Amino acid sequence: MQQTLSVRHLLGIKEITKEDIQLILDTADNFKEVINRPIKKVPSLRDITVANIFFENSTRTRLSFELAEKRLSADVLNFSSSSSSVKKGETLLDTVNNILAMKVDMVVIRHQSVGVPWFLARNITANIINAGDGTHEHPTQALLDAYSIKEKFGEVAGKKVAIIGDILHSRVALSNIFCLQKLGAEVMVCGPKTLLPKYIAGLGVKVSSDVKEALQWCDVANVLRIQLERQQMKYIPSLREYHLYFGITKEMLDSLDKEITIMHPGPINRGVEMTSDVADSHHSIILNQVENGVAVRMAVLYLLAQKV
Ligand code: CP
């Protein structure tokens, strides 16, 4: 079995192999056991310093990385652009180089612009982990989603996963498509035609604008938020109308002739992409995803620290 990753950065799922993904998921199994012990901390990243550099808002990813780093005994720096000298005109590269001058080994970066993690990987020596670059990739979200599917079903291969919602603006959708396909799952994307990118069928996924068809087809529905903050024009008439045609309700799930599993990367807009009784139902593994995120990020940090 492969013991180390084939890469020294985690930039996107597109760039890593099936074996890399399996190594991360297997390593996460060990860390999931660790974080459920009374003593949750291990010394694996002692003497490693990690900077979490977030230029966009985050709750789950940021806290999850910070907790994963602390559970591994790393020294942790947290940077938020809203309270930094970026506001005084400093460039991204100057900001990052100043942080690195403090002897930082690894950088976790979230940025609104596509490609920033790749730009940093070309220009600085630290290991880079992409925590979400614009509408492009969010690799650790896809890994924790795959881990959660594997945990629920025993394997990802052969499972049918429908990704439902704002596919056009979603980095979660693209990373999930790459990750699930590498692991042998079938993928459907479903949403209003205006929120389905034209290139998407070329990725080998099924495409639908009929949410009932998607739910009837899938074993797992990964439901995404409408990302109004990234929309430069009106792609849907209103959130109310979106909910009417694409919102997942308990009645829809009850009308299926099988049980399906509901996932969501968060943050949820209750009453838009799904109703509260779906989000909080026995179908939902949304909080399991959050729990698994810590173990998966511990695995990524641990494996990349071997490349420092
Ligand atoms: N899933 C996710 O990326 O959530 P945050 O934006 O809260 O980090």
Residue 64: predicted pLDDT: 98
- Name the residue of 60, 78, 175, 224 to mutate for ligand 1: max ligand atoms within 8 A of Cβ: 60
Whether residue 134 has its Cβ less than 6 Å from ligand 1? no
Residue 241: predicted pLDDT: 94
Whether residue 267 has its Cβ less than 6 Å from ligand 1? yes
Is the separation of the CB atoms in 10 and 140 below 8 Å?
Answer: yes
- 304 Cα to the center of ligand 1, angstroms: 22
pLDDT at 115 over 90: yes
pLDDT at 230 over 80: no
pLDDT at 84 over 90: no
pLDDT at 231 over 80: no
Q: What is the pLDDT of residues 127-170, one digit of tens each?
A: 999 999 999 999 999 999 999 999 999 999 999 999 999 999 99
CA within 13 Å, CB half, 170: 30
Q: What is the pLDDT of residues 47-77, one digit of tens each?
A: 999 999 999 999 999 999 999 999 999 999 9
For residue 56, which atom of ligand 1 is closest to its CA?
Answer: 6
Q: What is the pLDDT of residues 241-281, one digit of tens each?
A: 999 999 999 999 999 999 999 999 999 999 999 999 999 99
The mean pLDDT of 201-215, rounded to a whole number, is: 98
* CA-closest residue to ligand 1 atom 6: 58
Residue 228 confidence class, pLDDT cut points 50, 70, 90:
confident
Q: Phi first, then psi: give them for residue 140, nearest 5 degrees.
A: -70, -25
Where on the phi/psi map is residue 132: left (φ > 0), alpha (ψ -120 to 50), or beta?
left
- Name the residue of 58, 78, 273 to mutate for ligand 1: max ligand atoms within 8 A of Cβ: 58
